[in-house]
Amino acid sequence: MKFIKLKGRIGNNLFQYAMYLTLKKKYKTPVFVYGWDPGFQKYFEKISAKDSKYVRKIIHRLKGLFPKKIYSQYDFEPVQDVKKGIEQNIFLEGYFQSLIFFEGQEDVIKQKLKIKAKYKVEFEEKYGKLFEENKILAIHCRLGDYVNWGNASLGGKNLVLPIAYYKNAIKKFDNLDSYKIIVVTDDREMATRRFGFLDNIDFFSESEIIDFQLLMNASALIISNSTFSWWAAYLSKTANRILAPEFFVGFKIKKDFPEGIYDCTNFETVSFHYQDDAGS
């Protein structure tokens, strides 16, 4: 029996739910999760893992009986050490942000993680024509909480990607004129200022699930260093090219964080010089 404590929002919960599916398949044992982000269960079909007061009571009692079977993933912990912690313990807490943890289960994960029909219909009614009539290059620009997020181990606060990343990524498209460019963001005003160097682009800041589908249904993607856009890219059936920032959130210290975030993916990483231009 294993228990997974969920942390963070939709992007993080997707990794943790993938861990739930993997453990259930690999160990043939009951696996329970608790601490859902409400949006995750709201937007995705048939999320079968139970989170209830009953489960939480069991966890509280069992932790007292097995105090040495609790594993918490730490920053910069090597992937192999994390795998060992998962195998040897009952209570798991972490982000598990690498496909290495889910090797052999990719098809099962993609099959299980499906957006509910009503949100697909909502997206189709709003943007179906846009995507039918254009080849879309979707750019994700995470701002909002990233402006004040970070710590000393990641080079300090503010993990907003510099505009240099996006410029370098865009340069990799020889046929840029063939795309309709859209920017999906959580701060439309700031994003409009930052992408002033591009002409004829549209900005979108919708509900989480509509933003997710704007990314997921694009013909090509330039993602940010967020698990939200990582999953939109990974679950995409239409993107023939996915560009991603080198080092993910570790770009200030030039070290992959989380370790293994791009392993086993077809994402192309883009190098760039860091400078603090988040407010531009």
Extended beta strands in 170-259, E state:
180-185, 202-204, 220-222, 241-245
Residue range of the domain that includes 78: 2-112
Cβ–Cβ < 8 Å for 26, 107: no
pTM recorded for the entire structure: 0.91
pLDDT of amino acid 274: 86
* Neighbour tally for 21: CB within 10 Å: 19
- Return d(Cα 277, Cα 194) in angstroms, integer: 9
Residues 6 or more apart in contact with residue 191 via CB below 8 angstroms: 141, 143, 183, 185, 203, 205
Reply yes or no on whether the pLDDT at 276 is more than 90.
Answer: no
Please tell me whether residues 132 and 259 are part of one structural domain.
yes
pLDDT of residue 267: 98
Is the pLDDT at 50 greater than 80? The verdict is no
The CATH number linked to 230 is 3.40.50.11350
User: CA 208, CA 196: separation in Å to the nearest integer?
Assistant: 24
pLDDT over 90 (residue 14):
yes
End-to-end CA gap in the chain: 50
pLDDT in tens, 144-201: 999 999 999 999 999 999 999 999 999 999 999 999 999 999 999 999 999 999 999 9
CB neighbour list of residue 226: distance below 8 Å, 6 or more residues apart: 11, 140, 142, 146
- Give a yes or no: residue 202 inside a domain: yes
Segment 212-236 mean pLDDT: 98
Tell me whether residue 150 is in a domain.
yes
Contact 218, 236 (CB under 8 A): yes
Per-residue confidence at 124, pLDDT binned at 50, 70, 90? very high
Q: What is the mean pLDDT of the chain?
A: 90
Other beta carbons within 10 angstroms of residue 224's beta carbon come to: 27
pLDDT level of residue 55 (50, 70, 90 thresholds)? low
Last residue of some domain: 112, 127, 156? Answer: 112
* Chain Cα centroid distance, residue 218: 16
Asked if 122 and 261 sit in the same domain, the reply is: yes
Domain count within the chain: 2
Rounded distance between C-alpha atoms, residue 253 and residue 153, angstroms: 8
Residues 26 and 108 in one domain: yes
Strand partners, 5: 34, 93
User: Over 80: is that where the pLDDT of 132 sits?
Assistant: yes
Residue recorded with tokens 């739910």 = 17
**DSSP-assigned beta bridge partners for residue 2:** 31
pLDDT band at 123 (very low <50, low <70, confident <90, very high): very high
Is 130 in the same domain as 250? yes
